Amino acid sequence: MNGWDPATILLLLLATVCAALAHVFWGRRWLQIPIFWLAACLGCLLAYGLQIRIPLSLPAPAGVPILEAVLLAWFLLIIASRLRV
């Protein structure tokens, strides 16, 4: 079976939800949606790729540190929201 890896699907889902919420909070133009999505993807991928872990015993489904990925995604989304695009 040539399906996608569960970690890939989870990372894309997290990034999409974070980007959509960021656009609801701060979005003004349609052009910001792909920028927010890329920022959220970058944050999730950095947390997953660098295996950033907060010293708590939280579950990591498919090896994805959920809390860390969401926090890093929101950090980059805040930075992206301050850009004048």
Alpha helices in the chain (DSSP H): 6-26, 32-49, 66-82
What is the reported pTM?
0.87
The Cα 10–Cα 44 span in angstroms is 10
Structure tokens at 33: 């949606």
pLDDT of residue 28: 85
With tokens 């974070």, the residue in question is 18
Mean pLDDT in order along the chain per 10 residues (85 residues): 84 96 90 93 93 83 90 95 77
Q: Is 26 exposed, middle or buried (0-12, 13-18, 19+ CB in 10 A)?
A: middle
Rg (CA), the chain: 13
Q: Write down the pLDDT at residue 60.
A: 83
Q: Could you tell me the residue ranges of all domains in the chain?
A: 6-82
pLDDT of residue 59: 83
